[in-house]
Homo-oligomer: A and B are copies of this chain.
Amino acid sequence: MGNHNKEQSLTPSKNFILPFILLLLSRMSLHGYELIQKLQSLGFRTVDQGNLYRLLRKLEQDNLVCSEWETGGSGPAKRKYSITEAGIKYLEGYANQLESYQTMLDQFFKMYSSFLELYIPSFPKKDSIEKSSESKGRSINDSKE
């Protein structure tokens, strides 16, 4: 079950980065290259170039995204990715799952904050922890895909 002495890296990479990819593509068509940049600016620190392109191809095979070559710009041809109808459906399903996650996390922090009160009686009241969402723009994720 893994070594609990080394740093925890809490990153269900594929599961976590995929919905963001679909979400981005649902709002704009992007080249793989742009997508990487967007993901990075969203907080995915390291995105492995090779694996991302591979994923995109897989998504296209599965008909969740589609692409067309875009020539004419500067540099070599770029593949412009868009989301498909199926991709949108899939994204919706993902959103439901993520919502469930959020619920679990809320549950966790609700318990955790009262846990803090147990161990650190002087701990500032609930709200500072319980809804720490919306918080500091920390960039966290170490997803490499």
Residue numbers of A with Cβ under 8 A of B are: 1-5, 7-8, 10-12, 14-16, 19-20, 23, 26-27, 42-43, 54-55, 58-59, 62, 64, 88, 90, 93-95, 97-109, 111-112, 115, 118-119, 131-138, 140-141, 145
Contacts and interface: CB of A to CB of B under 8 A. Distances in A.
Contacts of A59: 1, 4
Contacts of A103: 43, 132-138, 140
A98 B108 contact: yes
Contact of A106 (B64, B95, B108, B133): B133
Interface centre among A1, A111, A134 (most CB of B within 10 A): A1
B4 A62 contact: yes
B23 A115 contact: yes
A108 B16 CA distance: 10
Contact of A109 (B5, B7, B98): B98
A1 B97 CA distance: 18
Nearest to A3: B62
A73 to B, nearest CB: 26
